[in-house]
Structures are given as C-alpha cells and as structure tokens.
C-alpha cells in the first residue's frame, strides 16, 4: 500500500469502508495487508510459463509472432535507431517517431539517422509511429507489460498506428505472476508499494472480430506491433 496523502483518494476509500460497515484500518490491518502482498504466492503456473530463461525467451518470441506481432533481435541498445529507421523504410512509413521520454531511449545515438525526425512526449492524433520501452515480456502468451508514468505516457501505446517496443532479453519472464512479482520488487519502498497508475498488457496488435466474424487489425489501437528484442544477456 502506498502512504501518499491524497484527500480525494482518502474520501473515496472512506466512502467504500462506510458502505461495507468497516472503520479506518488499524495499523495491524495495514501491516497484515502489506505482508500479504509481500508474501504473495503464485497460482498454478502453466507449463509454457516455466523452463529455463533461454526457453522462456524463445517461447516469448514464438507466442508474440503467433498473434501477428513481429520480432527483431538486436545485439545492443545502440542498434535501436538503425533498426527503427530500417523498419520505417521497409514498411514505407514516414521517417518520424514519437519516443517515450525515458533517458534510455532519448540518449540513444539518434544522430546516426539524419533522415529520421525524432520527438519525445505524449502521442497526438498525427503521430504514426511510437517507440516505447516495456517493463517486461511474458513468455506464457507473448505479452508485453507496460507501466505508465511521466516517462511513459499511455497514449503512446494506443494512438499511433504503428507501435514499436524495445525490450531487453533480461526483462523476459515466464508467467504473468513473475511479471507482477518483478513489478512489486521494483516498486517497493519504505511505505509499501508505489505502483503505477496504469499497467497495460499488450498481446499483439489491436484487433476485433465483431464485423462479420472477420479479424480486423487496428480497431482499437495500433494495427502493427514490432518488438525490438535486445540481447543484453549473451550467456
């Protein structure tokens, strides 16, 4: 639980407690809840969420590609600008990209691609391509876990037609439970857990089968998802 003082949030929680006939949680109750979160036990993990890390990486790639995402393997972070520019040329897309404003992405050698226009911030209606980091890749279903924040506006995940995601090999985990465990570990602080406002799970490009039971891509978000898988763990 986060200890951040927010009067509006406190008022909402107080209203919920009142409707449930409960009073203000005691210190023991808070301690019990924090302990439950910290000692969270995973549910049944399916076989495809297990295996060695190398197996999980290969399964992530296979599962992502099975749901119409494309995966490109890179040797190092600095390969990202050239790989992105090549992807845009390959698909006859405008040579422009909106980056998530993270130091990791913004500090890459974009000057090696002089024909590429690079901006960072929230996505707008005119942005065709976005590049964001992923918090984790989940081998079980080829899913990307995306966390929101100042360095990762959620609009970048959904507004542009083409979403490019950079994820490191070391960020690949086996099952959903492993991804949530990683998030809890990273966001734990002295007060409890400072979780992001939004966590998006993205499995392939946006699609719908509502129209005559025919699959259409890009109905509610990007119609293409390209994953740059960076090998930061050669072993």
Residue with tokens 């949530």: 180
Give the model's pLDDT for residue 179. 93
Q: In whole numbers, what is the pLDDT of the chain averaged over residues?
A: 86
Residue 174 has pLDDT above 50, yes or no: yes
88: enclosing H helix or E strand: helix 80-90
pLDDT digits (tens, 9 = 90+) for 7-27: 888 888 888 877 887 777 677
- 1 — pLDDT class (breaks 50, 70, 90): very low
Give the model's pLDDT for residue 10. 81
Domain-wise residue ranges, the chain: 7-38, 47-230
The pair phi, psi for residue 231, each rounded to 5°, is -85, 90
Give the model's pLDDT for residue 217. 53
217 vs 82, residue with greater confidence: 82
pLDDT digits (tens, 9 = 90+) for 98-116: 999 999 999 999 999 999 9
Q: Give Cα separations from 14 to 5, 11, 180 (angstroms).
A: 13, 5, 27
How far apart are alpha carbons 147 and 29 in whole angstroms?
A: 28
**CATH superfamily of domain region 47-230:** NagB/RpiA/CoA transferase-like (3.40.50.10420)
Q: How much is the pTM? A: 0.79
Reported residue count of the chain is 235
- 3 — pLDDT class (breaks 50, 70, 90): very low
pLDDT digits (tens, 9 = 90+) for 108-137: 999 999 999 999 999 998 999 999 999 999
Give the model's pLDDT for residue 117. 97
Whether residue 174 contacts residue 56, with contact meaning beta carbons closer than 8 Å, is answered with yes
Q: Give Cα separations from 24 to 6, 19, 29, 198 (angstroms).
A: 15, 12, 10, 26
56: which 2 tokens? 């999980």
């Amino acid at each position: 639980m986060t200890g951040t003082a927010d009067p509006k949030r406190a008022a909402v929680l107080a209203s919920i407690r009142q409707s449930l006939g409960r009073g203000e949680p005691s210190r023991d109750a808070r301690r019990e809840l924090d302990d439950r979160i910290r000692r969270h036990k995973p549910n049944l993990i399916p076989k495809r969420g297990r295996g060695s890390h190398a197996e999980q990486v290969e399964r992530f790639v296979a599962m992502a590609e099975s749901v119409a995402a494309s995966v490109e393997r890179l040797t190092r972070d600095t390969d990202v600008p050239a790989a992105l520019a090549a992807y845009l040329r390959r698909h006859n897309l405008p040579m422009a990209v909106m980056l998530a404003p993270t130091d990791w992405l913004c500090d890459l050698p974009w000057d090696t691609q002089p024909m590429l226009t690079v901006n960072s911030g929230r996505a707008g209606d005119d942005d065709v391509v976005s590049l964001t980091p992923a918090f984790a890749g989940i081998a079980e279903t080829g899913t990307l876990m995306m966390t929101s924040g100042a360095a990762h506006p959620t609009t970048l995940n959904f507004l542009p037609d083409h979403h490019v995601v950079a994820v490191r090999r070391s960020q690949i985990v086996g099952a959903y439970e492993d991804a949530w465990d990683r998030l809890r570990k990273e966001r734990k602080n002295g007060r409890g857990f400072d979780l992001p406002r939004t966590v998006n799970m993205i499995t392939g490009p946006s699609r719908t089968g509502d129209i005559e039971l025919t699959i259409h891509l890009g109905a509610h978000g990007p119609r293409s998802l390209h994953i740059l898988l960076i090998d930061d763990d050669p072993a």
